[in-house]
Every structure is written in C-alpha cells, then in structure tokens.
C-alpha cells in the first residue's frame, strides 16, 4: 500500500511538473512591457477597513504614477480607527481623490465586496482597478499595465505582486502557500483562450467597466470572501479576454506580519476555497500529507528509500520552478518544507473547525453566517 501511494505521488508530481513548465512559458512579466503615459481614464478603487497603518503609504505610492489619466475612489468600510481621517487628509492633497464613508452594511453583503461595489458607482473611468489598501506601487506600474491591457485587447488583467514576510518561518509559509496555490489553481490557465479557468488577485484586478457590469458586478459575488478569485473565475467563464501576469518588481505587499496573523487571516477563505465541504477538507488534508509529508518520513524506511528520494527530488524541482516564477524568494525555504506542510495542514483544520464552531467567519470585525455563505457560494 505504501509503495503504491509513493508511486502515485511520483506520477502526480511528474504531471504537475510538465503542466507548470508549459504553463509558466505563457505567464509574462509586466516589467517587460513598455510604459504608456496617457490613455483612457482609469478609476482606482480601494476599499479599506481599519487600515490606518498602511493606507497612506499605499495611496501615496499610487499618486506618484507616471500615467496621467487616473482618479481614485477610496471607500472607508466602517473603520473604527483613523482610516477615514487619513483618507480625508489625502483628499485635501490631491483633488483626483474621491472619498466614500460607509456607515452601515446592508444584509447579504460582505463588507469589502459592498465597499468595492459602492466605489464603482462613483467611478468615471472606462477602466476600473480594484486593489488593496496595503499594496505598494512602483511609478511605472499603471503605465505598463495600461499598455499591456490595451495592446492585448483585454477585458480583465490580474497581476501577482511580490509577497514578503519578516521571519524565516513566515517566508517559508508564504512560499509553501504559493506553491500549493499554483499547482491547485493553475493560474497560467487564465492565459489560455480555450480554458474556462479564470484567475483574479486582490492586489491588482483591472477590467473594463463594460465587462464588470456584464458579469454582474460585485452583486454576483457579494457573499464570497474570495471575491478576487471569483471575479476572475466569472469573467473567464463568460468568455471575456483575460490575462494574468507577474509584477514582482512593480507591486509589493506584506501579506501578513507574522505566522500567527497568517493563520488568522486564512480563517476567512480557506473553507470557502474548499467549497464549504467537509469532503474537500478531508481530501485536501490527506492529499497534502500523503504527497508532501509522507515521503520525508518513508525516506528512513529501508524498503522505500529510492521512491521517497525520487518524490522529494521532484517536489524540490516543482517547488523551485514555482517559487522562482511566483515569488521573489530563493528556493532555500524548501529545507523547511515538511514542517511548513504540517503547519499548512494545521491551518486547514483550524480554519474549518473555527468556521463550524462560530457558525460562520469573522472578517474585519464582522461575523458572516455559514448558512448564508453556503447559500451564496456559486
């Protein structure tokens, strides 16, 4: 039985290696695009709740863009800190900024999704950009994105930023998350015209206003904590022209400040990513353990040394391939791979258990009932 599992794991990683190798050849770098200075009006919409530590520096980095034709719609989503005040102060420094203060959340909406939707109502641009309140932009980012968007006649463009972490363990966890995200979600599929697999990343989702309304706006995903992914998914399913690029040198975000924060942050969307199904949770736990932890244990079994070593070698190759394309890290965190895999399994169990225990998720201080989340999951 153990031999059969190791053989199966080996074939799975071989298939993933070939798939990822071919896929990454279609995944372009936004840094390689020529910069455009003038063009269509872009409305950048930022929803923020209790982001007083990040929002000022993020918006200032956006205001420094070389691209000229931009407006900003900053939406204060019921913040209890100084976020709203900081937004108002930014408005005084640049008249291209519009401010919306939301006081109450309508029933049937997640806070961020309602804030972004509300922001689009004030957006005058023919292009929209949804981004988060903690993303740092280089000056050429928007100009290169607009150029890539128009040259490729896109309806939707999403870009992967550089995620950074302060500690070695957090960096290892981020790298492992991107590793798992890449082989599970296969983001390169967004660039295949015949594929229905879409992709959206919260740090950078640019789309035409026409396409946004065609897919149903955020009303179509109003109870999805993974709204960014679902936006990309629905855009692709509707046949809109979509591309994903990497932008490691143009966009940067501190995903979480500590491993503890990462585990808390994943509470909101881990179960959603597994479609709120226990069967998917069990499948994910078993899959990660058997394919990414077990070979490190069986390496010490005399009967399985060769198979285990082959699995670990393939894991290292796939890991290195993904980390080099989807992060700015070196592959060295692979040395902590089995430990990080166990931490990831713990995060799945923890998030699922807490969601059941609480009867829903708590996101930015607001509780959303599991029954409602399941009802609106499509």
The confidence score (pLDDT) of residue 29 equals: 97
43 with 71: CB under 8 angstroms? yes
The confidence score (pLDDT) of residue 130 equals: 98
Torsion of CA 257, 261, 263, 268, to 10 degrees: -110
d(CA 349, CA 284): 10
d(CA 170, CA 339): 12
Predicted confidence band of residue 128 (pLDDT cuts 50, 70, 90): very high
First to last CA, the chain: 38
Is the model's pLDDT at 372 over the cut of 80? Answer: no
pLDDT tens, 318-350? Answer: 999 999 999 999 999 999 999 999 999 999 999
Q: Which two tokens stand for residue 62?
A: 């956006």
Average pLDDT value for residue range 244-266: 93
Percent of the chain clearing pLDDT 90 (strictly above):
83
d(CA 254, CA 257): 7
Average pLDDT value for residue range 361-369: 79
Is the model's pLDDT at 377 over the cut of 60? Answer: no
The confidence score (pLDDT) of residue 265 equals: 86
Predicted confidence band of residue 366 (pLDDT cuts 50, 70, 90): confident
Is the model's pLDDT at 64 over the cut of 90? Answer: yes
pLDDT tens, 8-56? Answer: 999 999 999 999 999 999 899 999 999 999 999 999 999 999 999 999 9
Is the model's pLDDT at 85 over the cut of 60? Answer: yes
The confidence score (pLDDT) of residue 375 equals: 65
Place of tokens 């972004």: 116
The confidence score (pLDDT) of residue 275 equals: 78
Is the model's pLDDT at 234 over the cut of 90? Answer: yes
Query: What DSSP designation does 66 have?
Result: S
pLDDT tens, 145-175? Answer: 999 999 999 999 999 999 988 889 999 999 9
Is the model's pLDDT at 213 over the cut of 80? Answer: yes
The confidence score (pLDDT) of residue 376 equals: 57
249 with 162: CB under 8 angstroms? yes
Is the model's pLDDT at 233 over the cut of 70? Answer: yes
Burial of 91: CB neighbours in 10 Å, binned 0-12, 13-18, 19+:
middle
Q: Average pLDDT, whole number, for the chain?
A: 93
């Amino acid at each position: 039985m153990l031999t059969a599992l190791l053989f199966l794991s080996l074939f799975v990683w071989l298939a993933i290696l070939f798939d990822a190798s071919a896929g990454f050849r279609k995944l372009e770098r936004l840094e390689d695009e020529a910069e455009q200075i003038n063009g269509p009006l872009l409305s950048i919409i930022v929803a923020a709740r209790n982001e007083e530590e990040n929002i000022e520096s993020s918006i200032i980095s956006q205001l420094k863009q070389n691209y000229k034709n931009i407006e900003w719609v900053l939406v204060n989503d019921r913040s209890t800190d100084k976020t709203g005040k900081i937004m108002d102060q930014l408005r005084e420094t640049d008249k291209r900024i519009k401010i919306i203060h939301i006081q109450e959340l309508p029933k049937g909406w997640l806070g961020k999704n309602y804030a972004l939707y509300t922001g689009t109502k004030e957006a005058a641009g023919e292009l929209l950009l949804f981004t988060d309140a903690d993303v740092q932009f280089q000056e050429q980012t928007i100009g290169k994105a607009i150029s890539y968007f128009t040259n490729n006649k896109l309806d939707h463009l999403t870009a992967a930023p550089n995620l950074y972490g302060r500690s070695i363990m957090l960096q290892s966890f981020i790298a492992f998350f991107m590793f798992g995200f890449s082989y599970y979600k296969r983001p390169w599929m967004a660039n295949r015209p015949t594929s229905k697999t879409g992709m959206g990343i919260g740090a950078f989702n640019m789309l035409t206003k026409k396409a946004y309304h065609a897919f149903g706006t955020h009303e179509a995903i109003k109870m999805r904590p993974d709204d960014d992914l679902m936006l990309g998914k629905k855009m692709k399913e509707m046949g809109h022209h979509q591309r994903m690029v990497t932008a490691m040198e143009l966009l940067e975000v501190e995903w979480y400040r500590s491993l503890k924060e990462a585990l808390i942050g994943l509470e909101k969307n881990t179960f959603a990513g597994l479609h709120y199904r226990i069967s998917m949770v069990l499948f994910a736990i078993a899959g990660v353990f058997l394919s990414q932890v077990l070979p490190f244990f069986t390496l010490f079994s005399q009967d399985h040394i060769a198979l285990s070593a082959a699995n670990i070698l393939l894991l290292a190759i796939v890991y290195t391939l993904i980390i080099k394309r989807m992060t700015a890290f070196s592959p060295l965190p692979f040395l902590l791979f089995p430990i990080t895999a166990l931490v990831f399994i713990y995060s799945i169990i923890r998030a699922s258990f807490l969601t059941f225990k609480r009867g829903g998720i708590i996101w930015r201080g607001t509780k959303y009932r599991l029954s409602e989340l399941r009802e609106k999951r499509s």
